[in-house]
A and B are shown apart, each in its own frame.
Chain A
Amino acid sequence: MNIHEYQAKEIFRQHGIPVPPGEVATTAEQAEKIAAKLGTKVVVKAQVHAGGRGKAGGVKLAATPAQAREVASEILGMQIKGLTVARVLVTPAEEIEHEAYVGAIVDRASGTVVLMASPEGGIDIEEVAAKTPELIFREHVDPRYGLLPHQASRLAHKLYPGDPGRARQAADIIRKLYASMVDAGASLIEINPLITTPSGELRAIDAKINIDDNELSRREEISALRDIESEAPAEVEARSKGLTYIKLEGNVGCCVNGAGLAMATMDLVKHYGGEPANFLDIGGSSSPEKVVTALRIIMADPAVKSILFNIFGGITRCDDVANGIVEASKGIELKVPITIRLTGTNEQQAVRILEGAGFSAMTDMDEAVRKAVELAGN
């Protein structure tokens, strides 16, 4: 789960990381009031789950409260990478002497959290890694001991060599960043940029935190940060029913059990000249109700011209899926053709159930995918 910059900054504040003041506005009038209260030149920043906000025109300077109102009205309602901006953060415009990067991620290969720092801040860290990898410094955190003080200090001194004042501040920020990560259950946490002000103070002027979805059930206060409005409604509905649905650009709706098979099915749709309309995993033990929900979500996408079911019955029983399809067909008008492939547990019963309701079913995956692609008019 992604959280917004203003929410991430609040987590930083709670952990004592220096963050400029600022408040969130949902209207231009509110933005003006916040700017007046701050009493200084401000930046108005779109709060949306998309990278490249600045380039898209979602971050603007304002010298006066009236100007803050003006730019806020431009940014609010704006579309950035298909997402509508519903909120802006109004925060003082800082004078910047230097921009650094500090972050931490879960490193899959080493099975540790890796802390990273670079004096090349303000740009995408992947870009730094590609162009000047020698300017990224790293510390691996042994999960048995957590971040040790000397590691934070070593990283800080590499970041600001010959500058003990800033290194001391940075070591403190790095320790607090790691603590924020652990407390929030984050899989990624970044300050980019960590700026140096003209008076030599460090401040986090942007913040990014990705929360591990598996942490949400035990962290109510973090779960509450989810911004449902910023997500596709179909994906929200799917999640609430225990399904994973991701909308894509094509016209062949896919309903599959298991994430790996769902990806392989999408790939096969493409292989036969079609484009998948979505990723949808109905999960392991699928009840007829889940199938009804899945079918409704796929049908609601106007781009879908053909629907493909691909079920490999193991734990999932094919007859459960068949019952779900039949049940769903009674409740919703099926406006597009459905191709069903089922094999495995209770395959015979499933075929009988489907044929009794006027559907046909096949057992070969490639044959079914080819047919579904053809029916979509590709």
Chain B
Amino acid sequence: MAIFADSSTRVVVQGITGRDGSFHSAQMLEYGTKIAAGVTPGKGGQKFDGKVPIFDTVEEAVRKEGATASVIYVPAAFAASAICEAADSGVKLIVCITEGIPVLDMLRTTRYVADKGARLIGPNCPGMISPGQAKLGIIPGQIVEQGPIGVVSRSGTLTYEVVWALTREGFGQSSCIGIGGDPVIGTNFIDCLDAFEQDPQTEAIVLIGEIGGADEQNAARHIREHLSKPVVGFVAGRTAPPGRRMGHAGAIISGSQGTAAEKIATFRDNGVEVAERPVDVPAIVSKQLNV
């Protein structure tokens, strides 16, 4: 088991012929992901890597190849439209890697996706990987291993750092989800926590947050009220100054809101242990699982 995507997931890659899209599609195929189709408007009829059919529209990819999930690498100017197209074509899981989509566009887009009954992960995220089964996005396949830990994070490379530390200490993962660094995103911490709670493979969850917004605080309260599995937290940005955007569009302390100190305190108040350093995460997981 895993959450959101597994070995049965049939993926369509939107923007498969672009520089990033083609590079990462090759990596996804190498990992064993079932890429059913690619979409690049105007290049329908061609093939990617000599085998993956390319279509002009997502609708064709769904109808002819049975795609159930989409991964989006198209440039920011076209990405919100690509998300809507995927949702409108019946794709149930949409992973948008693209960074730089205007937030006012995302307000409309997240609503549209929800109205169509689809799930959006991202945008501005590394995507997700269910080790040994499917990789939808850019998380390096060589740092993960199958196992009992669910990982959810707002970051990219910081996630890799923690996942690699877990793998080195013998803790493989059920799924690793990068939910994205933008202020308005599709899937949030709580959605992932609930899915990991339901997933029989997952025994413990690692949640990696950062400054900005209140998603971590809401997650902390949700954990106390609704989760039976242990959760280990980490929050980046204790040294971040207020009012500055720390790389991610969503990583900003507004006034006195969204500091790392506030998030860490809320986790601890709700009984969630928070690691001081990324390297401390595996030891806390080990303690929580009594192994």
Contact = CB atoms under 8 A, between A and B. Distances in A.
- The CB with the most chain B CB atoms within 10 A, among A126, A279, A343, is that of A279
Interface string B250-276: 110001100010000000000000001
Contacts of A213: 245, 249
A267 B237 contact: yes
B236 A260 contact: yes
Interface stretch (A52-60, A105-113, A291-299): A105-113
B210 A314 contact: no
Contacts of B158: 258, 260-261, 263-264
B16 to A, nearest CB: 17
B289 interface: no
Contact of B210 (A256, A263, A276): A263
Contacts of A256: 157
Contact of B153 (A144, A246, A260): A260
Nearest to B251: A259
B246 A106 contact: no
B138 interface: yes
B111 A266 contact: no
Contacts of B111: 111, 142-144
B154 interface: yes
Query: Dominant SS at the A interface?
Result: mixed
A240 interface: no
A248 interface: yes
B244 A246 contact: yes
Interface stretch (A13-21, A198-206, A214-222, A352-360): A214-222
A213 to B, nearest CB: 7
A344 interface: yes
Interface in A120-134: 124, 126
Contacts of B155: 258-261
A344 B143 contact: yes
Nearest to A272: B277
Say which size band chain B's interface belongs to. 35 or more
Interface string A218-231: 10000000000000
Contacts of A214: 76, 100-103, 249
Nearest to A1: B245
Contacts of A309: none
Count class of interface residues, chain A: 35 or more
Contacts of B278: 264, 365
A336 interface: no
Contact of A187 (B77, B103, B164): B103
A30 interface: no
B140 A260 contact: no
Contacts of B210: 259-260, 263
A32 interface: no
Contacts of A144: 108, 111-112
A288 interface: no
Contact of B214 (A109, A262, A263, A269): A109
A257 B155 CA distance: 11
B276 A266 contact: no
A185 interface: yes
B139 A314 contact: yes
